[in-house]
Amino acid sequence: MAHRVRVMEGNTFRLNVDVCKPYNADFDGDEMNMHVPQSLQTSIELEELCLVSKHIISPSVNKPIIQPSQDNLLGLYKLTENGIEFTHKELMNMMMGVKKFSGILPEPAIKNGNYIRWTGKQVYSIILPPISFKKDVDIEATPYLEHVVIDNGILKKGQIDKNISEPILHSIFNEYGYKEAARYLNDL
């Protein structure tokens, strides 16, 4: 897979944790090698055939191989939990690195005088493209979860866990392509 390099301080590679699965990187002292293209033809080939964002879906199993994992997945799970609220300042701090954020916030879910709050579901909805998605949750296996309903890019109900995040990403990839799927993962 090909990555775009951003030079930072330090002597080691730093990869987004979401792309570690295809490399089978498990953080137990794994080593990696980097190869730099030496010609224009090689650079173009890497960009067109090997770019990480074009390998989000594994061709062998037709499922996302690059997807939220570890801390990203836990954060997504906690963010979409019922009862999570954010102030205007907290919300703006979170949106600072989100490419899809246009600067316009949705109406706050909670408005009671000076007490104004946005929910975690609203934060997640800012990141989502306008997809519609429904997933019934196995109530016997996970009685604490609700069915997930996303309507035109707005998470109406439910909590996003690993079993839900995978088909959402696959749906984004199928409907909007690899660039939007990569943007969604980066914004998460």
What is the per-residue DSSP string for 22-36? Answer: HHT--SSS-------
Q: What is the pLDDT of residue 144?
A: 66
Which of 110, 154, 118 is closest to 133 using CA atoms? 154
Rg (CA), the chain: 19
Strand partners, 2: 51
Q: What is the pLDDT of residue 32?
A: 82
Classify each residue of 143-167 as buried b or exposed e, where b means 16 or more C-beta atoms within 10 Å of its C-beta.
Answer: eebeebebeebbbeebbbbeebbee
Q: What is the pLDDT of residue 6?
A: 85
**Which residue's entry shows tokens 């016997």?**
140
- Asked whether 55 and 64 are in contact (CB, 8 A), the reply is no
Ranges in the chain, pLDDT < 50 = none
